[in-house]
């Protein structure tokens, strides 16, 4: 079993860029950014429960990691960077902390490194279970309207919020609920120590208006970047700035690697 993916060709022997979207997104969401990085081969994944991988499911971060490894193997991807937003960033960090062969670096946008204690994790699992119940039983228009009124999305205008709800009201609520339960922040280990000790480069992006993840950035990476004119979903709100930053960072990192 592998994840559905969209491929854009690049030049060899440059490493692959593997793009992981956020919760309720799909493989299209990173393409405006990746499309500007034409030198690199790019793989845009649909995570379990999403897009063309909607019928695929996992029960844990460990199963998600196995599925990601299988997908990379099927496409014969030997050297790669992971670029992940929010849920995709958390999956990327978990994968990286398993020390996979071939991973050259991480680009994380608005991804949480993990909660520090079991009480906080239990509270998050309870909160996410409430969202799962809503996804299973309520109209998705109502669920996502509430989802995008959470504090982390406070910078969205009513027009922007409505546009995001409209993109998601045709999704499979049961499939999304399964993925949310499996990869709840409450089920994720605290990855801070492992990321601080990582032998590969870790770069962290956050929207300049995203106060929560601005505060978390320094706990995840030494290299942190504020994306101008953006909130939590920086690559959607300012794709040109994110693409330009990637185009500046990646050649330097690749040049410096032995």
Q: What is the pLDDT along the chain (258 residues), one digit of tens a residue?
A: 999 999 999 987 899 999 999 999 999 999 999 999 999 999 999 999 999 999 999 999 999 999 999 999 999 999 999 999 999 999 999 999 999 999 999 999 999 999 999 999 999 999 999 999 999 999 999 999 999 999 999 999 999 999 999 999 899 999 999 999 999 999 999 999 999 999 999 999 999 999 999 999 999 999 999 999 999 999 999 999 999 999 999 998 987 665
Give me the pLDDT at residue 11, please.
87
Bridge pairing between strands 5-8 and 202-207: unpaired
Edge to edge, what strands does the sheet with 223-227 contain? Answer: 5-8, 42-45, 16-20, 80-85, 103-109, 202-207, 223-227
Give me the pLDDT at residue 255, please.
72
Give the CA radius of gyration of the chain: 17
Give me the pLDDT at residue 12, please.
77
Cα–Cα nearest to 219, from 122, 143, 115: 115
Tokens of 82: 């992971």
Going from N- to C-terminal start, the domains of the chain cover: 5-116+188-256
Measured CA to CA, the distance from residue 154 to residue 144 in angstroms comes to 14
Give me the pLDDT at residue 242, please.
98
Tokens of 170: 């045709």
The gap between the terminal CA atoms of the chain, to the nearest Å, is 34
Give me the pLDDT at residue 254, please.
86
Tokens of 152: 């982390």
Give me the pLDDT at residue 207, please.
98
CATH number attached to the domain at 5-116+188-256:
3.40.50.1820
Measured CA to CA, the distance from residue 165 to residue 117 in angstroms comes to 33
Measured CA to CA, the distance from residue 18 to residue 12 in angstroms comes to 15
φ and ψ at 203, to 5 degrees?
-115, 140
Question: In terms of pTM, does the model score above 0.85?
Answer: yes
Give me the pLDDT at residue 23, please.
98
List C-alpha distances in Å: 65 to 70, 190, 229, 253.
9, 16, 33, 25
């Amino acid at each position: 079993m592998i994840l559905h993916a969209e491929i854009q060709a690049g030049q060899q022997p440059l490493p692959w860029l593997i793009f992981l979207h956020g919760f309720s997104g799909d493989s299209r969401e990173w393409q405006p950014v990746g499309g500007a990085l034409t030198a690199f081969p790019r793989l845009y994944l649909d995570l379990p429960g999403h897009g063309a991988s909607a019928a695929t499911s996992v029960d844990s971060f460990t199963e998600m990691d196995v599925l990601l490894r299988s997908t990379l193997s099927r496409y014969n991807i030997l050297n790669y960077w992971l670029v992940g937003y929010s849920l995709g960033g958390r999956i990327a960090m978990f994968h990286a902390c398993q020390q996979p062969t071939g991973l050259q670096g991480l680009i994380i946008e608005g991804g949480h490194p993990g909660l520090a204690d079991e009480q906080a994790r239990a509270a998050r699992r309870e909160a996410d279970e409430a969202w799962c119940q809503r996804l299973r039983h309520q109209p998705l228009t109502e669920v996502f309207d509430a989802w995008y009124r959470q504090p982390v999305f406070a910078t969205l205008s009513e027009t922007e919020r409505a546009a995001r709800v409209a993109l998601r009201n045709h999704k499979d609520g049961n499939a999304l609920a399964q993925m949310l339960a499996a990869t709840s922040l409450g089920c994720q280990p605290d990855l801070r120590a492992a990321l601080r000790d990582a032998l590969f480069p870790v770069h962290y992006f956050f929207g300049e208006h995203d106060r929560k993840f601005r505060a978390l950035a320094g706990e995840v990476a030494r290299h942190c970047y504020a994306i101008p004119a953006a909130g939590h979903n920086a690559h959607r709100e300012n794709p040109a700035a994110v693409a330009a930053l990637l185009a500046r960072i990646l050649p330097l990192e690749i040049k410096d690697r032995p």
